[in-house]
Each structure stands twice: as C-alpha cells, then as structure tokens.
Structure 1
Amino acid sequence: MAVHHRQTSASAKKKVQVSYIIRDEVEKYNRSGVNALQLDFLQKRLFTSGRDSIIRIWNVNNLSSKHDPYIQSMEHHTDWVNDIVLCCNGRTLISASSDTTVKVWNAHKGFCMSTLRTHKDYVKALAYARDKEQVASAGLDRQIFLWDVNTLTALTASNNTVTTSSLTGNKDSIYSLAMNHYGTIIISGSTEKVLRVWDPRTCAKLMKLKGHTDNVKALLVNRDGTQCLSGSSDGTIRLWSIGQQRCIATYRVHDDGVWALQANEAFSTFYSGGRDRRVYQVDMRNPENRFLLCEEKGPIVKLLLTQDNSHIWAATTQSSVNCWPISNQPARVSGDYDNENPVPVYTQPEGTVKGGPSITQYYILNDKRHILSRDTNGHVVLWDVLKACKVEDLGKADLEEEIKARSKMVYVPNWFSVDLKTGMLCIHLDESDCFAAWVSAKDVGFGSNDGSDPKLNFGGLLLQALLEHWPKTHTLEEEDHSNNTAVLNGNADTTDVTVRVGGSVTKGNGYFSVPGHTPVIFSEVGGRTLFSGCTSRLLCRDAGAETEGMLLNDTVPAWVIDITVDKNMPKFQKIPFYLQPHSTSGAKTLKKDRLSASDMLQVRKVMEHVYEKVLGADNISQNTASSGGEKPEQEKEEDISSLAEEKIELLCQDQVLDPNMDLRTVKHFIWKSGGDLTLHYRQIK
C-alpha cells in the first residue's frame, strides 16, 4: 500500500505543553542506557544512541590513547533513540525514536536533514537493504514503512512530499525488524510471538512463522533471504528456513530473554546477548561448540560485529559501551563446557566508550524551585528549576538528610512536573497548573533596589526566560500593570492589598535568564512533538534564528503567547476562608461571612484587617494629628502593621500564626482539613 506523506506542522489547537531539559552545554557522555550502535569501518567512527535522546560520534582509534574519543553530538530527538542504521557508505544515518519520528542525518557533518512523521507511536526498529539503499521502520503502531534513502536525502523545505510503501497485517507492537541486503525479504518480530514475512517489492504477505512463546526482540536474515535467526524474551534463539517455512534449530544458550543478535556474513556463527548480561558465541552447525565470550555489568540491548569479525561491541542498559575481542580459541568447548558456571573467555574489554551518570531519583523541595537528585554514581545534586542550572554538587551525600536540611515550612503550589526518562531532569509546563505559583520577590532573592516587593509568578517568569531570544517577544513598550491587585473581599467591608508587578521589559523577564544551550520542546500533552521539518525541539538561544523563529510563530500556543508576547500576567490564585473570634476572647461568634484573598496573602495583612475593620480601631488618625503633620503612606502602613501585631493574635487549629506566613502555607501545614480554611483572632491582653 502506497502512502503519500507531506511534512506539515501540527495544529496549534492541540493541547500543548512546554518542556525543557536542565543539562550541560556539551553532553559528551551517554547519560543512560545505549539502545543502538553503528560503525563506519572506513572512517573508524562509532555511532551510539539511546535513552538520553542524543546520537554521539566517537573515534574508535582513540579509545586506548590519551586523546578524547568524542567527536560530536547529533541532537534533535526528544525521547529515546531506539535504533540507527548507517547508509550510503557511511554518508547518511537514519534514526528511530520514541518521539514517534524517523530522522535522516548527514552522518559526516552531523546535522539533521529531514524528519519523517508517518508513525503514530514509538518507532522501535529499523532494517536496511544495503544493495538497494532501502530502509524500513516499525514500532508500537504495528505499521512497517519502507523508505528509499536516496529520496529521503533529497528532501528540501519546498520539496517535502514522501511516497512510502506500508506493510500491514501485524496484530501487535513490533520490536524487531530485519531485511536482507538485496531487499527481497523483510521480517518483523512482535509481542504477537510470531515472525511475519513479506516481499518488500510487492508488499505481499509471504508467511507467518510460529514457535516462540514471548516477544521476539532480535532478528537477523542472511544475505539471500533463505534463513532467519530470531531471539526472544522466552530465552531461546531459533533458526528458520524461509523456503520450508519452519524452525530448523532451537538454541537454548541463555538463562533469560535474548535481546540482541549478530552473525557473521556466512551465517555460520552467531553472537547473542540479553537480560542475563552474557554474550555467547555459538557455531550454528554444531551448537555444542559454544562458549561464553564475556559478561557485561548490565542487560545487553544491542550487539555489533565489526566488518572483519575481529571484535564485537556491546551496548547495555548502562551508559558505557564496551568493545570485546573475538576468540577463535575458546577456553571451554563441547564436552568441556559447563552450562551452570561457564567461565568467560575475556574478563576485560579491549576498549570502552565511557558513559556518564544518569539521574535515578529526584525530590522537589517545598519552595517549588529547587530539586535534589541522586544519580547512578550516588552523587546528590541541587538544581534550580527557575534558572535551569546546577546549583551545587553535594557528592555522595545522604539524599534523605539533604532533603530534611533544606525543607522549610513554606507552601508553594505545584506548577511543573518532572521526568527522568532521558537520565536528565526534564521539566514539563502545562497550561492547567503552570501559573499556580505566585511568590514574593524578596522571598526568592529578587528584591528591588527601591525597597518594593513585587509579586512574581514562577511559571510566567520562566516562560519569558525560555523565549527571551524570540524576536516576537521583544517589540513591546512599557505597560501599566496597576490593575494586578489581590483584594481581600468580605461581604460588607473590603481591604485592598495592592500587589505591585514590574512593568514590561523588552527582553526576557528582567530578573534572570536561562542558559542559551537549554533545549526547549513544544509537544502535545503526553504525545508527539509539534515542529515540522528537522526541528522537534530548539535550543533557547536559537529562537532568534529565522527558521526557528518561523517555527515558533506556528507552534507556540496562545497561553504561552499571552505571557511572553502580550505580557499579560496570569490571575492570582484565590483562597476562601472564614474569620471568627477565638473562643477565649469572650466575643460573640460572628455571622459567617466567607472571605476571599490571594493565597499568598500574609497573615500580617489579615491581622491588619481584623485590627482596622473588625475591631474598628481608630487610633491611627489620632497619632497622625498629634505628630503635627500628615505621615507618608508607607509610614501609615507600618504603623497599622506594628499596632496590629501588638494587639492581635491570629490562630488556626489553636496554633498561633507567624505574621510572615501566607494563607496557602497555613492551609497546607496547619489547617490540614477539608472545607474552607477557618482562622480565629483574639486581642492580646
């Protein structure tokens, strides 16, 4: 079936979230498990890709020298990269990702040439017909698409329509794919537990091969397409005759699921790895002639045999990738072989591409600005979500103790969420709760020189910082935000509590910036990234570039434009509460009037309201008259505040409240009940 696919941008009407990753400017090392490997044997360059979404290029000649093997990174994917293939004699790399895209890269220069958005779910596997320059992609959407590589590399912004063939008939998610060099046969493995076989030239279904009892995770097919090797989570490896349409040999080598296979060109020896962390070498014609080549420190996800059959690369769920020599003189063979306790031929790899630590735990502190994390090296790090940077590396500290030491009795609403799937902190901002957190500028260290204490919105400030370089946010004049006030409303009386918000600035938010290398991602909530072309995410500093700027114009949702372009501050969160005399005050219980105020209103302001309005104190004007002149407004406020604190106590659940505490903190830490917050007051004798 032919599918005509045009690269178009997704509709901005979808529910969109903004995400960004807190990271170093150059992420040299694989941060988490490595899913795929490719080797350019002529240029001695290894390509690795995996869970941190980054494809990296390494010089394999420098692995054992003092020179750094890292060459460069290829970044555009926003989720795990599950598979890669090197085509066109090493000039082109194709990648498949859980962000649902297939990307086409210039492998020599390291940039993305085009993005294919045909899949509707995670893309898990690729297959390559070398003699035909054809690639197939498959994944959890049960679809297999065939791509002509030469057509893909010729795509441009103006010529971006791709015609592809689709192979249908899979009943379940596809995890493995194989195609022979000539492109005459293609085989898929899935959670359906069967192998399905097609002729990619006609898209005709050829057969279904049954035998495995679990997911088929690895597939190989020989050059002429007559035999296939499959590895399954059921722990077995099976050899199939395509002509006879049956399994002709079953190899029980591993104690657990088989996830990776490689074979020599003659299809006479295979190498297997999987969940048991072991790499075995097996003679297909004489299965007794097998031995344990090496043991890894993590489950083996992918194996890659070098072109000269002298070494095998192993990628695991850990971040380092090892290169092991292949022995023609195994330590234990045939009758000498111990199935229960085999001894590996090699205990040390010949070369290693060293990986870096990945974050495995995190804790958001009460200030909803800082995060403590622990990584695979046991290191604890303090991060600033607002400035998108590392604050301090605390070394191998006790995470629980650090959390205790930094926890304060302050309540700030949740305004972001976190995920660790790339091994780094990825922060998600969603329209529904992004603007929930209002704070005092002084409380967060952004106090102004004029002594004012404007109220700041964490989400609003961060969005302005993330899009600071987007020209659309710069062409603004100063605006008056005096209407942004929080009002304490009773049924009879009102006390205005003015909240000052700084005027607009021409760039960013006027308080802080985020690092220019911070990746910013726009995506459907829980779904696919939105950008068309190559760019499914951009670096913060690149928002000013022409191409990225145009993409942002089409992609940024209205709720983000409102705060970054129009500078419309979000509304304050309101909190309802009741105010009653305390039982020990001797005063009669009042008619229950439901009050409402900004949730970050300080207890002090409620005490002033009680002092001035509820108890009807009128000594301010007398003090002013006796002083011989009108006091400035600020001094009047200070007088009321100090007198209120001298004369009034405010309580919640019989606990006297600190005047500096805000209402949301009182409700969260002290009220702890259902229904509206109730506060009690009494005069201090």
Structure 2
Amino acid sequence: MTSLKNQNPRKKVQVSMVICDAEEKKHRSGVNAVQLDPHLDRLYSAGRDSIIRVHQHEKFIHGMEHHTDWVNDIVICCGGRNLISASSDTTVKVWNAYKGFCMSTLRTHKDYVKALAYAKDREHVASAGFDKAIYLWDINTLTALTASNNTVTTSSLTGCKESIYSLAMNPPGTVIISGSTERGLRIWDPRTCGKICKLKGHTETVKALVISRDGTQCISGSSDGSIKVWNIGQQRCIQTIIVHTDSVWALLVNESFTYLISGGRDKKVIMTDLKNIQNTILVCTEEAPILKMCFTADQQGVWVSTSSSTVRCWKLPTELHFKDDISFLSNQQISVIPGDAAIIKATVLNDKRHILTKDSAENVALYDVLRACRVQELGPVNYINEINTRNSEKLMYVPNWFNLDLKTGMLAIHLGQDEVDCFSAWVSAKEAGIKDHPEPDFKVNYGKLLLQALFEHWRGVQTDQENKVYFSVPRHIPLILRYISRKLIFI
C-alpha cells in the first residue's frame, strides 16, 4: 500500500476527496460566472462548487469537473469550440466546450485567479488575480497543447500593486483594463505590454469592468456603490451613475455602447440609458446578491447569476425611453435553472467516522467518511439534538485524523493537512464494522483504510491479504493530491 511519504523530505503530500453524487447536475453554491454560446444557444455557468455546467434551454447537458476550488470566471472562445476558466485553485484551464473535457492546465499564477478578458478578433485571453499579475495568452497556442508538448509562452503586464478583481479587453485587443483593491483602473496596450495610464476616482475596490469596441470608453463598477464612465483618451471620468444602494459587482453593455445593465449586492438589476443616465429602469430584483450577467442569444433578455445556486433569465425592455415605457413591468422571468442546496454546517461525530450535516434548505444528513457517501437523509430535524443523541449513543474516543471544509457547498475531506495525523485513529475491527475480520479485536487504522479504498483502483497499486480493502468508495469520487509546499497537483 502506498503512503503519504514523498521522495523529497521537504515536501508533504496532502490527499483530499470530495463526497459528491455521481453526476452533479445542479449548482450547490453561488454561481460566479455565466457565458452564452449564441451559435448553439448553450449557457455555461461556473460555480463556487468548482464545477462548470452546460445547459440548453434549461436542460442540463454535462458538467466540466477538473478544478478543485471556486471557478471565478469563464470565457467562450474560438466560435464556441473552446472555453477558458479561471479558478481559486490558482490555475487557468482550457476546455473542449463541445465535449466537456479539459485540454490543458496553466499553472502560471501563484494565487487565486479572479478574472478573464477576451479579445475576440485576435483570439487572445488575459487572466489576472490576487498575485497582482496579468498574463496574456494566445488561445490558438493554448488549444494546441498536448501532454508531450505543453510549454506555454505568455506575455505579462506588470505594474499592479494590489489584488486584481476585474479585467476587460476590447475585441480587437488594443486596450486592456484592470480593476483592483487600489481603487483605480490601470490601462495597457496588450500589443506592446506597455502602460497607457491609471484612472483614479473610486473610493473602494473596482469589481466590474466593460469596454467599448474601439477602446475609447470604459465603464467601471465599484464596492463604493458607484458606476463611472471613463474617456480613455482624455484619461478622465465623464459620468458617474448612482443607481444602486450597495456594491456594484456586475456590468453588461450592448455592443453599440448605448445602454448599461448593472447588478450587485443590493440584488437589483438596473438598466441605464448611457445617452441620458437619468433614464433608468428596474429589470428585476433577485433573491441574492448578483455576481455576473450575460445576454440571451437575441439580446432580448439577460441571464443573471447570484450568490445562490439558481440562475435566472429576465426579460429586458424593448425601448430605451424608459420613463415613457409604462408597458414594461420588472421581474418578468423568462426561464430558470434551479440550483441545489449547499452544505452549510458539518459536525464530526464521536466515532470520527461519521459526519452530520445541515444544508441551506434546513435538511440534515449523515455521511460515512470511509465509504465516501451519504448514508442517511434525515430531513428537517433538529440539528443540535441529532448531534447530541448520536454522540451519546456511541461513547468512544478516537483522535482527529482528517480535516474537512465546506467551501464548495460539498464535503471535502483532507488527509495530511495542518498538524492532524491521518494515521492516528486506531479502532478495533469490530468498532469499525468489519464483520468478516477473523479477529474482532484486531486494531485497524481509519486513515489507512480510507487510503486503501481511495487507491483501490489506482494504476499500479496492489494490496495483499494483510492489507485487504474492507471499504470501497464510489469510482466517481474526485481524488486530489497536493504538495503542501507547492501549488495544487490533482488527478
């Protein structure tokens, strides 16, 4: 049986798994990004549960599961053939959008990758995040990468001094803009990687950006609640729009740059006439803060993703004379892609094998770590009472041997994390529920049992009779390997 020890003594390997269903058709947590392929009328949504999902007319097509943390942004490129994704696992990934498989992984960033920008005419994409770096990629080069030929060359734009939250690039790829915690906009020419200017005016982090096709104007949304329109050539703010009562996190503009759609923490989607910013109309009020938006194929509606797991499509007014348009009523929902509940609480029971959880729909469930599955649905019972009852039924002491987190809305189990010894939990075969063991009092190790189950089907790993696999985990359970001293390595 393999162990967690590594050839390099300075590096510690962490093994993780995510307890999930065989096919996760619904988002389990907030949806950070949405993109529409207008040619196939397919909607791509990127979730905090680490999964990118593809829908067509509300029907789930397939999921794209290869990231190990939040997916923060996505872009559809190459006429819909490929998709680029950015994640908090520090990677940028290139996908075959039609078939849903990951073609290559870019590990250039050193921290969370928060934003992408796409120059459609040149097939270039830029990525940026918390490492304060912006990288410019040639998509045609990225899609040609293979396992044996994966050397990536990229251009870098330097000068950012703080974490980057937003990024924009015009279709011809002549201007790129970043927004960050330094409360300003930095502008470059991506063709030369040279700086153009820095625009100041916001008082909080710039969370959203859009740019005109000719690169002469851009619009920024900030946590200070304001939206600003900038003339890039004149390097100044020409309009300030105050229509939200809280942070502005999402912006969308039509190609002719005549109207703006904005959303944010106040849960409102508002449409503004850029020719007369006094003309505004409420498109809808969502149930949660708004994170991202995209147009429908006919641009008569807008898909809205929020910090909840449900994605909705809302009708837009057909006229720009908003004050005169008394026929339009807000909250005209066209369609909805329902999400699923996220696990929001989890308690490891006394036996250090079972976990009791509570989700955002108030339902309680019991999970078995050794079998990596949900073993009982208890419904909306009292969570605290259930913990106390189950712990009082089984009075035993077992050391902590794993860590867990709920960042993705699912149970993630980590072995070898922090100072917790994954080989510390010894129990009798009887206590572990191994009925066919010849010696009921024989001591078994939970960490070893789980590793055996996780690596049971691993290529080249063999077990003898002494190391018999007594537990099996479903084949679909994601297995993740990390070097603690480095960034993610996963399978």
Please say whether Structure 1 and Structure 2 have the same fold, judged by a TM-score greater than 0.5.
yes
What is the Cα deviation at residue 119 of structure 1?
A: 0.2
Tell me the alpha carbon deviations over residues 462-520 of structure 1, each in whole angstroms, 9 at most, x when there is no partner. Answer: 0111000123321x555xxxxxxxxxxxxxxxxxxxxxxxx234xxx2x1111111101
Question: In the alignment, which of 214, 219, 244 is matched to residue 224 of structure 1?
Answer: 214
**Change beyond 3 A, Cα 1:427–1:259:** same
* Residue 433 (structure 1) aligned with residue 421 (structure 2): yes
Question: In the alignment, which of 455, 460, 464 is matched to residue 472 of structure 1?
Answer: 460
Paired residue for 1:383? Answer: 367
Tell me the alpha carbon deviations over residues 292-327 of structure 1, each in whole angstroms, 9 at most, x when there is no partner. Answer: 110000000001123432010100000010000111
5 Å-filtered alignment, 1:26-425, equals 26-60=23-57, 63=58, 69-328=59-318, 333=323, 345-408=329-392, 409-425=395-411
Higher relative contact order (CA 8 A, sep 6+): 2
Question: In the alignment, which of 519, 524, 534 is matched to residue 478 of structure 2?
Answer: 519
5 Å-filtered alignment, 1:422-571, equals 422-430=408-416, 432-448=420-436, 450=438, 452-474=440-462, 477=464, 503-505=466-468, 509=469, 511-525=470-484, 528-530=487-489, 536-537=490-491
What is the Cα deviation at residue 390 of structure 1?
A: 0.4
What is the Cα deviation at residue 446 of structure 1?
A: 1.1
Could you tell me how far apart the structure 2 residues matched to 1:217 and 1:345 are? 29
Paired residue for 1:601? Answer: none
Could you tell me how far apart the structure 1 residues matched to 2:9 and 2:174 are? 42
* Residue 14 (structure 1) aligned with residue 11 (structure 2): yes
SS in 2 for 1:58: strand
Equivalent residues of 1:294, 1:344 under 8 A apart = no
Alignment-mate amino acid for residue 436 of structure 2? S
465-474 or 253-262, larger mean C-alpha shift: 465-474
**Change beyond 3 A, Cα 1:13–1:171:** same
Could you tell me how far apart the structure 2 residues matched to 1:433 and 1:378 are? 33
Paired residue for 1:541? Answer: none
Could you tell me how far apart the structure 1 residues matched to 2:424 and 2:170 are? 55
Tell me the alpha carbon deviations over residues 622-662 of structure 1, each in whole angstroms, 9 at most, x when there is no partner. Answer: xxxxxxxxxxxxxxxxxxxxxxxxxxxxxxxxxxxxxxxxx
**Change beyond 3 A, Cα 1:477–1:291:** closer
Tell me the alpha carbon deviations over residues 170-201 of structure 1, each in whole angstroms, 9 at most, x when there is no partner. Answer: 01000000000000000000001000000000
Could you tell me how far apart the structure 2 residues matched to 1:477 and 1:16 are? 24
Could you tell me how far apart the structure 2 residues matched to 1:344 and 1:372 are? 48
Alignment-mate amino acid for residue 471 of structure 2? F
Equivalent residues of 2:207, 2:250 under 8 A apart = yes
What is the Cα deviation at residue 448 of structure 1?
A: 3.4
Alignment-mate amino acid for residue 315 of structure 1? S
Alignment-mate amino acid for residue 295 of structure 1? T
Alignment-mate amino acid for residue 37 of structure 1? V
Tell me the alpha carbon deviations over residues 222-257 of structure 1, each in whole angstroms, 9 at most, x when there is no partner. Answer: 001000000000000000000100000000000000
Alignment-mate amino acid for residue 484 of structure 2? V
What is the Cα deviation at residue 328 of structure 1?
A: 2.5
**Change beyond 3 A, Cα 1:477–1:37:** closer
Paired residue for 2:20? Answer: 23
When Rg is computed on C-alpha atoms for both structures, the one with the higher figure is 1
**Change beyond 3 A, Cα 1:319–1:188:** same
Could you tell me how far apart the structure 2 residues matched to 1:384 and 1:190 are? 42
Could you tell me how far apart the structure 2 residues matched to 1:196 and 1:78 are? 30
Alignment-mate amino acid for residue 36 of structure 1? A
Could you tell me how far apart the structure 1 residues matched to 2:314 and 2:447 are? 49
SS in 2 for 1:447: coil
Q: Which has the higher helix share?
A: 1
SS in 1 for 2:413: strand
SS in 1 for 2:357: strand
Could you tell me how far apart the structure 2 residues matched to 1:246 and 1:449 are? 76
Could you tell me how far apart the structure 2 residues matched to 1:331 and 1:204 are? 41
**Change beyond 3 A, Cα 1:11–1:519:** farther
**Change beyond 3 A, Cα 1:44–1:12:** farther
SS in 1 for 2:104: strand
Could you tell me how far apart the structure 1 residues matched to 2:267 and 2:195 are? 36
Could you tell me how far apart the structure 2 residues matched to 1:330 and 1:266 are? 13
Tell me the alpha carbon deviations over residues 60-110 of structure 1, each in whole angstroms, 9 at most, x when there is no partner. Answer: 2xx3xxxxx000011100000000000010001000000000000011111
Equivalent residues of 2:11, 2:485 under 8 A apart = no
Moved over 4 A (4+): 10-13, 329-332
What is the Cα deviation at residue 410 of structure 1?
A: 1.5
TM-score in terms of structure 2 length: 0.95
Could you tell me how far apart the structure 2 residues matched to 1:393 and 1:206 are? 58
Equivalent residues of 2:428, 2:440 under 8 A apart = no
What is the Cα deviation at residue 447 of structure 1?
A: 3.4
Equivalent residues of 1:292, 1:344 under 8 A apart = no
% identical aligned pairs: 58
RMSD: 1.9
**Change beyond 3 A, Cα 1:161–1:374:** same
SS in 1 for 2:460: helix
SS in 1 for 2:386: helix
SS in 2 for 1:473: coil
Alignment-mate amino acid for residue 417 of structure 1? N
Equivalent residues of 1:263, 1:305 under 8 A apart = no
**Change beyond 3 A, Cα 1:526–1:81:** farther
SS in 2 for 1:162: coil
Q: Which has the higher strand share?
A: 2
Equivalent residues of 2:429, 2:439 under 8 A apart = no
513-522 or 441-450, larger mean C-alpha shift: 441-450
Equivalent residues of 2:426, 2:444 under 8 A apart = yes
Equivalent residues of 1:257, 1:276 under 8 A apart = yes
Tell me the alpha carbon deviations over residues 587-609 of structure 1, each in whole angstroms, 9 at most, x when there is no partner. Answer: xxxxxxxxxxxxxxxxxxxxxxx
**Change beyond 3 A, Cα 1:526–1:99:** farther
Could you tell me how far apart the structure 1 residues matched to 2:115 and 2:8 are? 28
Equivalent residues of 2:429, 2:437 under 8 A apart = no
TM-score in terms of structure 1 length: 0.68
Could you tell me how far apart the structure 2 residues matched to 1:375 and 1:420 are? 10
Could you tell me how far apart the structure 2 residues matched to 1:27 and 1:183 are? 36
Q: Where does the alignment leave 5 or more consecutive residues of structure 2 unmatched? A: 1-6
Could you tell me how far apart the structure 2 residues matched to 1:416 and 1:331 are? 60
Alignment-mate amino acid for residue 197 of structure 1? I
